[in-house]
Amino acid sequence: MEKNKTGKYLKYAIGEIILVVIGILIALQINNWNEAEKRSDEEQKLLYELLVNLNQDINDNKVNADFNKDVGLSAEYVVETIEARTVWNDTMEKHYGYLLRHGLSTFNTSAYDNLKSKGFDLISNDSIRIALTNLHGNYYAGILKFEKELAVDNQTFYLAPLFLKHIRMENPWFKGIPHDYAKLLEDTEFIEAVRWKAKTIRHVASFQQQGYKKANELKIIIENELKK
Give per-residue pLDDT as tens, 82-128.
999 999 999 999 999 999 999 999 999 999 999 999 899 899 999 99
Whether this model's pTM surpasses 0.85: no
Q: pLDDT digit string (tens) for 45-92? A: 999 999 999 999 999 999 999 999 999 999 999 999 999 999 999 999
Dihedral (CA of 181, 182, 185, 188) sign:
negative
Euclidean distance between the first and the last CA atom of the chain, given in angstroms as a whole number:
64
The pLDDT value given to residue 41: 84
CB neighbourhood size of 46 (10 A): 18
